[in-house]
């Protein structure tokens, strides 16, 4: 996976989060790819996690079964991009980049 594709995936994940969680007044540029999604960072909560898991599975066919796996996957947008690529959804990720 090239850096360029990774960048595209990061952008798509930001869009997915904004759309799924209906974040108002938040643009992709407001989300720092290296910051935590939960707690500090974006300040998402457990209900947000449940919605994101469903959206990510639908979009990338990648399962996040529990918060233990989620801790790694949701550590940051960069971590989530790595997780999606590692779980073998590289093709969908590339397609989504267009």
Partner 1 sequence: MRWVETTTTVRFNEVDQWGITWYGHYFAWFELARMKVLEQFSLLPEDFSGLGFIAPVVSAHCEFKKPARTNDTIRIRAHLLKPQTASLTFRFEILLQNDGSLLAQGETVQVLQRLDGTMIYKVSGTLEERLESMVQHFWPD
Using CB under 8 A as the criterion, which residues of the chain lie in contact with partner 1 when the complex forms?
45-47, 49-51, 53-54, 63-68, 70
Residues 6+ away with beta carbon under 8 Å from 8: 93, 94, 96, 97, 98
Question: What's the closest the beta carbon of residue 29 comes to partner 1, in angstroms?
Answer: 28
Shortest spacing between CB 89 and partner 1, in angstroms: 17
Of 11 and 37, nearer to partner 1 (C-beta) is 37
Would you put residue 61 in left (φ > 0), alpha (ψ -120 to 50) or beta? Answer: left
What's the maximum distance between 2 C-alpha atoms anywhere in the chain?
33
Give the distance, in angstroms, between the CA of residue 46 and the centroid of all CA atoms in the same chain.
Answer: 15
Whose Cβ is closer to partner 1: residue 11's or residue 53's?
53
Query: Between residues 40 and 47, which has the closer beta carbon with respect to partner 1?
Result: 47
């Amino acid at each position: 996976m090239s850096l360029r594709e990774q960048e595209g995936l990061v952008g798509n994940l930001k869009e997915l989060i904004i759309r799924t969680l209906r974040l108002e007044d938040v643009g992709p540029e407001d989300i720092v790819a290296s910051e935590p999604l939960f707690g500090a960072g974006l300040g998402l909560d457990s209900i947000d996690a449940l919605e994101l898991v469903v959206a990510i599975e639908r979009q990338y066919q990648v399962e996040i079964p529990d918060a233990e796996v989620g801790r790694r996957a949701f550590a940051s947008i960069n971590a989530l991009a790595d997780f999606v690529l590692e779980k073998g959804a590289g093709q969908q990720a590339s397609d989504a980049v267009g």
